[in-house]
Structure 1
Amino acid sequence: MAQWIIPVIALFVFLGLIVQANRKMGGVRKDGRPNQVPWGLVMVFCALGIFVTMVHMINLAGFETGPEHSLMGRFGG
Protein backbone atom coordinates (compact mmCIF):
# COMPACT_ATOMS: atom_id res chain seq x y z
CA MET A 1 0.00 0.00 0.00
CA ALA A 2 2.92 2.37 0.69
CA GLN A 3 3.98 2.06 -2.94
CA TRP A 4 0.76 3.93 -3.83
CA ILE A 5 0.66 6.38 -0.92
CA ILE A 6 4.09 7.90 -1.50
CA PRO A 7 3.54 8.70 -5.23
CA VAL A 8 0.11 10.19 -4.52
CA ILE A 9 1.61 12.42 -1.82
CA ALA A 10 4.44 13.39 -4.21
CA LEU A 11 1.86 14.20 -6.89
CA PHE A 12 -0.03 16.54 -4.56
CA VAL A 13 3.20 18.16 -3.36
CA PHE A 14 4.27 18.86 -6.96
CA LEU A 15 0.83 20.25 -7.77
CA GLY A 16 0.94 22.49 -4.72
CA LEU A 17 4.39 23.75 -5.65
CA ILE A 18 3.18 24.54 -9.17
CA VAL A 19 0.28 26.56 -7.75
CA GLN A 20 2.65 28.39 -5.39
CA ALA A 21 5.13 29.09 -8.20
CA ASN A 22 2.33 30.36 -10.42
CA ARG A 23 1.20 32.79 -7.73
CA LYS A 24 4.72 34.07 -7.05
CA MET A 25 6.11 34.13 -10.59
CA GLY A 26 4.40 37.19 -12.02
CA GLY A 27 4.53 39.40 -8.97
CA VAL A 28 7.08 41.63 -7.35
CA ARG A 29 8.11 41.34 -3.73
CA LYS A 30 6.61 43.79 -1.23
CA ASP A 31 9.89 45.67 -0.94
CA GLY A 32 10.24 46.01 -4.73
CA ARG A 33 13.27 43.76 -5.13
CA PRO A 34 13.31 40.89 -7.63
CA ASN A 35 12.45 37.37 -6.51
CA GLN A 36 15.35 35.30 -5.20
CA VAL A 37 13.76 32.00 -6.23
CA PRO A 38 13.50 31.33 -9.98
CA TRP A 39 9.81 30.37 -9.90
CA GLY A 40 9.67 29.52 -13.60
CA LEU A 41 12.39 26.91 -13.12
CA VAL A 42 10.61 25.55 -10.05
CA MET A 43 7.46 25.15 -12.15
CA VAL A 44 9.33 23.30 -14.92
CA PHE A 45 10.91 20.84 -12.48
CA CYS A 46 7.56 20.26 -10.77
CA ALA A 47 5.99 19.45 -14.14
CA LEU A 48 8.84 16.97 -14.76
CA GLY A 49 8.22 15.48 -11.31
CA ILE A 50 4.51 15.07 -12.06
CA PHE A 51 5.32 13.31 -15.34
CA VAL A 52 7.78 10.91 -13.66
CA THR A 53 5.32 10.24 -10.83
CA MET A 54 2.52 9.47 -13.29
CA VAL A 55 4.75 7.04 -15.23
CA HIS A 56 5.67 5.37 -11.94
CA MET A 57 2.00 5.04 -10.98
CA ILE A 58 1.19 3.53 -14.38
CA ASN A 59 3.97 0.98 -13.79
CA LEU A 60 2.55 0.24 -10.34
CA ALA A 61 -0.84 -0.43 -11.93
CA GLY A 62 0.76 -3.24 -13.93
CA PHE A 63 1.18 -1.61 -17.32
CA GLU A 64 4.65 -1.74 -18.85
CA THR A 65 6.17 1.55 -20.00
CA GLY A 66 9.40 2.26 -21.78
CA PRO A 67 10.77 2.19 -25.32
CA GLU A 68 10.81 -1.61 -25.61
CA HIS A 69 7.01 -1.67 -25.15
CA SER A 70 6.18 1.06 -27.65
CA LEU A 71 4.51 0.53 -31.00
CA MET A 72 7.75 0.98 -32.96
CA GLY A 73 10.05 -0.99 -30.65
CA ARG A 74 13.22 0.30 -29.03
CA PHE A 75 14.77 1.91 -32.11
CA GLY A 76 11.66 2.83 -34.08
CA GLY A 77 12.76 0.89 -37.11
Structure 2
Amino acid sequence: MLNWLISIGLMICIGGLGIYAHSKLGTVRKKDQRPHQVPWGLVMVGCVFLLFLIVVHMMNLIGVETGPEHGMFGRF
Protein backbone atom coordinates (compact mmCIF):
# COMPACT_ATOMS: atom_id res chain seq x y z
CA MET A 1 0.00 0.00 0.00
CA LEU A 2 2.88 2.34 0.76
CA ASN A 3 4.22 1.84 -2.79
CA TRP A 4 0.92 3.09 -4.20
CA LEU A 5 0.86 6.16 -1.96
CA ILE A 6 4.44 7.08 -2.83
CA SER A 7 3.82 6.55 -6.55
CA ILE A 8 0.63 8.63 -6.58
CA GLY A 9 2.27 11.36 -4.51
CA LEU A 10 5.23 11.51 -6.88
CA MET A 11 2.88 11.64 -9.87
CA ILE A 12 1.07 14.63 -8.38
CA CYS A 13 4.32 16.46 -7.52
CA ILE A 14 5.99 15.79 -10.87
CA GLY A 15 2.79 16.68 -12.73
CA GLY A 16 2.64 19.98 -10.85
CA LEU A 17 6.28 20.69 -11.68
CA GLY A 18 5.56 19.91 -15.34
CA ILE A 19 2.61 22.30 -15.39
CA TYR A 20 4.72 25.00 -13.72
CA ALA A 21 7.53 24.44 -16.25
CA HIS A 22 5.00 24.71 -19.09
CA SER A 23 3.77 28.03 -17.77
CA LYS A 24 7.35 29.37 -17.53
CA LEU A 25 8.38 28.16 -21.00
CA GLY A 26 9.06 31.06 -23.37
CA THR A 27 8.74 33.83 -20.80
CA VAL A 28 11.32 36.29 -19.48
CA ARG A 29 12.24 37.36 -15.96
CA LYS A 30 10.14 40.29 -14.75
CA LYS A 31 12.80 42.31 -12.99
CA ASP A 32 15.33 42.67 -15.84
CA GLN A 33 13.63 41.18 -18.96
CA ARG A 34 16.39 38.61 -19.49
CA PRO A 35 15.76 34.94 -20.34
CA HIS A 36 15.42 32.42 -17.53
CA GLN A 37 18.55 30.52 -16.53
CA VAL A 38 16.62 27.29 -15.97
CA PRO A 39 15.94 25.37 -19.21
CA TRP A 40 12.20 24.92 -18.63
CA GLY A 41 11.76 22.88 -21.81
CA LEU A 42 14.17 20.22 -20.55
CA VAL A 43 12.50 20.24 -17.14
CA MET A 44 9.15 19.62 -18.81
CA VAL A 45 10.51 16.76 -20.94
CA GLY A 46 12.12 15.26 -17.83
CA CYS A 47 8.79 15.40 -16.02
CA VAL A 48 7.05 13.55 -18.84
CA PHE A 49 9.77 10.88 -18.80
CA LEU A 50 9.47 10.45 -15.02
CA LEU A 51 5.69 10.20 -15.26
CA PHE A 52 6.10 7.43 -17.86
CA LEU A 53 8.47 5.55 -15.54
CA ILE A 54 6.02 5.86 -12.65
CA VAL A 55 3.17 4.54 -14.81
CA VAL A 56 5.30 1.52 -15.78
CA HIS A 57 6.14 0.99 -12.09
CA MET A 58 2.46 1.09 -11.18
CA MET A 59 1.69 -1.43 -13.93
CA ASN A 60 4.30 -3.70 -12.36
CA LEU A 61 2.62 -3.24 -8.98
CA ILE A 62 -0.67 -4.40 -10.50
CA GLY A 63 1.05 -7.51 -11.86
CA VAL A 64 1.41 -6.71 -15.55
CA GLU A 65 4.77 -8.01 -16.75
CA THR A 66 6.68 -5.28 -18.58
CA GLY A 67 9.97 -5.40 -20.40
CA PRO A 68 11.33 -6.66 -23.71
CA GLU A 69 11.14 -10.36 -22.80
CA HIS A 70 7.38 -10.09 -22.26
CA GLY A 71 6.67 -8.03 -25.39
CA MET A 72 4.68 -9.12 -28.40
CA PHE A 73 7.76 -9.83 -30.50
CA GLY A 74 9.98 -11.06 -27.69
CA ARG A 75 13.64 -10.22 -27.34
CA PHE A 76 15.47 -9.59 -30.62
Mark yes or no: TM-score above 0.5: yes
Q: TM-score range by the shorter chain?
A: over 0.9
Higher relative contact order (CA 8 A, sep 6+): 1
Query: Taking every aligned residue pair, what percent have the same amino acid on both sides?
Result: 53
2:65 is the counterpart of 1:64: yes
TM-score w.r.t. structure 1 length?
A: 0.93
Q: Which amino acid aligns with 1:20?
A: Y
CA RMSD, Structure 1 to Structure 2 (Å): 0.7
Does the 8 A contact of 2:28 with 2:34 survive in 1? Answer: yes
Residues 1-77 of structure 1 aligned to structure 2 (within 5 Å): 1-30=1-30, 31-75=32-76
Task: Show structure 1 runs of 4+ deviating over 2 A.
Answer: none
| Counterpart AA for 1:6 | I
CA–CA separation in structure 1 for the residues paired with 2:19 and 2:52: 16
| Structure 2 unaligned residues grouped into runs of 5+ | none
Aligned length: 75
Normalised by the length of structure 2, the TM-score is 0.94
